[in-house]
Each structure stands twice: as structure tokens, then as C-alpha cells.
Amino acid sequence: MTTYDVAVIGIGGVGSSALYHLAKSGARVIGLDRFAPPHSLGSSHGQTRVIRMAYFEHPDYVPLLRQAYQGWAELESASERSLYFPTGVLQIGPESGEVIAGVRKSAEQHQLAIDSFSHEEISKAFPGLVPPENCVGLLERNAGYLLVSECIDAYLKLAVQHGAEMATNCPVHAWDKEADEYVLQSDTRTIHAKQLVICGGAWAQQLLADLNVPLTILRKQLYWFENQVPHYTSGASFPVFLFETVGGIYYGFPQIDAQGVKLARHDGGETIASAQAHSQSEDIADRQSVEAFVQTCMPQLSTNLTRHAACMYTMTPDQHFLVGSHPEQSGLHFAAGLSGHGFKFASALGQILCDLATTGQTASPIGFLSPNRFS
């Protein structure tokens, strides 16, 4: 019987990074996933993900983002792939809103460069955008997007090169602690490991139930719209964008291929009971909301749909992550409840989980993400 140093449950965004870092550290590691990543059945898919430093969600994320940027650069170098594209990120909203006030706070606290645009200046600088009244814009030039599936694929291939094993299409139904090791049960095999890392995405609701942190799963919609004008393309230096409006928070990407412009709503979403209830079915009300945003704020963009997809957000009560070591189960480490804004951190979180599993500690500032805050 083989006993691994570490087993990783879930090898999507964060799990693929953890698998790579663990294998690179010399650990005997196996990664398990109920599907075959990269896939479109969880949270880490849909072509692109935003990465930005002046984080409106909370300034405490900025040190982790510095680590993440370095991690993505290292992945690009090791894989010899282009994965990060610094288009800039333009965030638009009222001065008193969550987004603009949060960006300014993070930028000021961490001395981050941002460019400010008045309501009138936004449309002049970025043709094709029509901001709502009383809105301003903040542009972070050292920001952009990541190719999500390409990042996962790169991490997994490198992990295998460093000696990692993978068991895909292998759902873990249960885990238990027996003496000084973890025992994982799947349909086809039993895995033994000294340390356990759980990056289960929406399945963390079941895998980490004993943390007693309520995790809500939202089914989110992604859309790609046909584009006939040059304004909205990456070739026109068009940035990733996020609008905070009275009707909701919308974000999107410049056109990078024939599928057109990708758009989605960051807030809202349909609550589902479990990850097993997820489907790719379309939400008509959500689509109508996004189309109304397009017609108002991006009027030169067509609302002819070229592609649709759905993914899952796994939400904590305060919409901040759960990262750390289990308070009662020694040797169990996790990243969960990423609440729809976690992929950009995957390079850093994978290293952090590797540190926790191999040394029992990390120098990264993750205290504010401890599940103990809900005790």
C-alpha cells in the first residue's frame, strides 16, 4: 500500500497550483478530481479571469496579490506560455460606492498607481463606453486578465513533470483520519496520505462541513456577444472593465477571439442546494439584465449571443476566503469559499497550501482569512 506525503482533493484553479508546488518541493503527492481538469463543470473555466492589485474588496488582499503576480510570472516562465495579459482594468462607479471607494482605499494604503477619469473623460479615453451619471473611473494599468484553463493545464503538466500523480474522474466521497494518516474513499480506490489539502470548490460545502461555516453556492452566468466595432477589442488597447451601477455590478473583457466580448454580472446569481445541482442552463432574467447593461453602457456592442456558459461561486457569509489549516484536524489544509473572486490568487494560494502541508506554517498574511473569524 502506498502512503503519499500529501493528497490534494480538487485540482482546478487552486488545487492545480498546490499540486505543482508540492511536487516541485519534492513531496510525494497525488491530486484527485471528480472530473478531468481543466473542465467546465465547476468554477475555474470560461476563458478568462480578471487580475488586479488595487483590491476594492479589502486592502488586506494586496500583499497576497503581490505574491500572486510573482507566481503567475513564474508559471509563464516555467511553462513557456503567455498566460497573463496586462490590458489594464478600468473600474467605474459612484465615488461613494463600494468599488471606487474600495479601490482608492487599497491604492492609498499600499501606494498603488491608479489613474482617475471624470465622467466626461471616460467616454473620450475609452470610445464605446457610456458610464452612468455621477460615475467616475479608476484605471489600474498593471492589471488585466489570465487565461484560466491554460493556467490550470500548465500547472498540471508541470506537476506531473515534477513527479505528481493524478487520479481524474475520481470523486472522493469521504475522508477520515486514522491514526497519523488520512484515508480517502472513492469509487475505485482508497488513498492514504500523511497530509490532506482540500481545494474542492463548490464541493467544499460537503468536504469541509465540520468547519461549521455556512457556504452558499451561486450558479453564475457568462456571456459572449458578437462585436463588429474596433473599440471593444484588445487590439484597440481596450481594458478589462467593471461597472458598479444602480442595477448591479457588471464586468467584461476586451474581445480576444471570434467569440466576441465576454460579459457577466458579478452580483446576483441563482442559489443552488449543492454542487450536484449545477447545470449549464440559461437564466433568462440574468441575460436580460446583462443585455440592458450593454444597451445602456456599451451601445455599439451587439446583443447577439455567440456563447453562453455557467459556473459556480462558493460564498462565505462575509464573501472573504477560507484559507488555512483545520483547527481540530492536524495535517488538513484548505482553500475554500473563494466567493467569486479567488482565481487570481491561485498561484499564491497553491504555494501557501504547499508551505502549510510541508512545514506546518506560512509567512504569507492569511490570518484575516481564517475560519476562526466565524467562531
DSSP state, 320?
-
Nearest 5°: the CA angle 61, 110, 252 is 55
Distance CA 331, CA 321 (A): 20
- 62-79 and 148-161 are packed helices; what angle lies between their axes, rounded to 10 degrees? 60
Distance CA 347, CA 72 (A): 6
> Which residues does the annotation mark as catalytic?
45, 48-49, 262, 266, 311, 344
Distance CA 107, CA 100 (A): 11
Q: Which of 152, 178, 160, 185 is nearest to 30 (CA)?
A: 160
Cβ-proximal residues to 375 (8 Å cutoff; 6+ apart), any chain = none
**Cβ contact 36:169 at 8 Å:** yes
- Distance spanning both ends of the chain, measured CA to CA: 39
Beta strands, E only, 226-321: 240-245, 248-252, 261-265, 270-272, 305-315
Distance CA 367, CA 254 (A): 35
Measure Cα distances from 96 to 100, 134, 360 in Å: 7, 10, 42
